[in-house]
Amino acid sequence: MCAKKTGSIEDLAVVGIDIGKDTFHLVGFDRSGQVVLRKQIKRLALDATFETLPRCVVGMEACLSAHFVSRRLRDLGFDPRIIPAIYVKPFNKGQKNDYNDAEAIAEASLRPNLRTVTEKSQDQLDLQALHRVRSRLVSRRTATINQIRAFLIEQGIAVRSGLRALRNSFETILEQRRDEISARMRNILIGLYGDWLWLDDRIAAVSTEIEEISRTEENCANIMSIPGIGPMISTAMVAAVGRGEVFDRGRDFAAWVGLVPRQFSTGGRTILGRITKRGSRYLRMLFVQAAKVIMMRPHRWQAFSFGAWLERAASRMPRNKAAVALANKLARTAWSILRHGTRFDTPRDPTMEAI
């Protein structure tokens, strides 16, 4: 389907792609802002279509296959730009359809001060996939454990909280409460326990692979020199932001992770609320967990360069608020180390538990 065009395809300056599962919708502007390209193509025709177009800026929304498409277009000589969907929305005109979305993406791509998503390499995508698999397995294990607890409480059997408590008492419960638990329920519980053990093995295997990568990757090793930070955070951060070059400073990275106060300011009056919780929820959770591990060991704070600051923060803030403030500092420090290829300025305490 083609619309009337007033310019020439040779003057193409920018193309917006609305990426679909099987089809892509393209809208292109020339240097004067006139629509010179309006086309629907199959995914498999991507290379053949763009080989016939003049080299220009190509914009696309951040989505599952955006990094793959970006790499293919860069190999063909184009200048791909991956744009967060929230930044495209203000440029949408009329009702929502694929061509209007592609046109909005093309217009957003021309904005000179628009922050784009860094293109991920295949290694980054592989590492990100490992973390996503592990996160899903951990979630399934939690659901399985909760279901075992629910079935036991239905039989009038309560087990104290904690994974270890249930694991240590599970076989004893089945043996001592044999008369209280039906044969069918017993088989169900044994099956769920088998699922739990299988998930433990899978989580351990994926975690081991992540740890091996963290030991061989220089950027991960540098980040792990920060107290409280281990293979999980270091590899998740490298997978998410690469070398961190998309951010100008550490505070920008902390804001992207969502560890800064939400701001609602007007008329010269600054109003700060809770943290924004924008960006990577998974990475934010890991940084907060690392901060809480450090908060649990106040006798070691003086061994770190930020120990004096942490003591003052802990004395005037609620515990959780101080932990978030520390997570913010850890994130900013991690970005600085990642961006400049250095290590933390204090020798790491080997007894400090890391995440």
Q: Which pLDDT belongs to residue 251?
A: 93
Instruction: Find, among 334, 220, 310, 326, the residue nearest to 275 by Cα.
Output: 326
Considering the chain, what percentage of its residues have pLDDT values greater than 70?
95
CB–CB of 236/288 below 8 Å?
A: no
Between 250-257 and 319-340, two packed helices, what is the crossing angle to 10 degrees?
A: 130
CB–CB of 281/256 below 8 Å?
A: no
Reading the block at residue 222, the tokens are 């540098």
Report residue 17: phi and psi, to 5°: -115, 125
Predicted confidence band of residue 219 (pLDDT cuts 50, 70, 90): very high
pLDDT tens for 56-67 read: 999 999 998 999
Q: Which pLDDT belongs to residue 134?
A: 97
Q: Is the pLDDT of residue 6 over 70?
A: no
Average pLDDT of the segment spanning 344-352: 59
User: What span, in angstroms and rounded, lies between the C-alpha atoms of 298 and 304?
Assistant: 11
Q: In this structure, are strands 57-61 and 12-19 parallel, antiparallel, or unpaired?
A: parallel
pLDDT tens for 278-331 read: 888 999 999 999 999 999 999 999 888 899 999 999 999 999 999 999 999 999
Between 307-316 and 319-340, two packed helices, what is the crossing angle to 10 degrees?
A: 150
User: What span, in angstroms and rounded, lies between the C-alpha atoms of 235 and 155?
Assistant: 43
User: What span, in angstroms and rounded, lies between the C-alpha atoms of 294 and 329?
Assistant: 12
Q: For tokens 């690469």, name the residue.
A: 242
Q: Is the pLDDT of residue 1 over 50?
A: no
Q: Which pLDDT belongs to residue 270?
A: 84
Q: Is the pLDDT of residue 152 over 90?
A: yes
Average pLDDT of the segment spanning 100-110: 94
Q: Is the pLDDT of residue 347 over 80?
A: no
User: What span, in angstroms and rounded, lies between the C-alpha atoms of 141 and 217?
Assistant: 29
User: What span, in angstroms and rounded, lies between the C-alpha atoms of 15 and 108?
Assistant: 11
Question: Which residues touch 206 (CB under 8 Å, ≥6 apart)?
Answer: 130, 133, 134, 137
Q: Which pLDDT belongs to residue 5?
A: 46
CB–CB of 119/73 below 8 Å?
A: no
Q: Which pLDDT belongs to residue 206?
A: 97
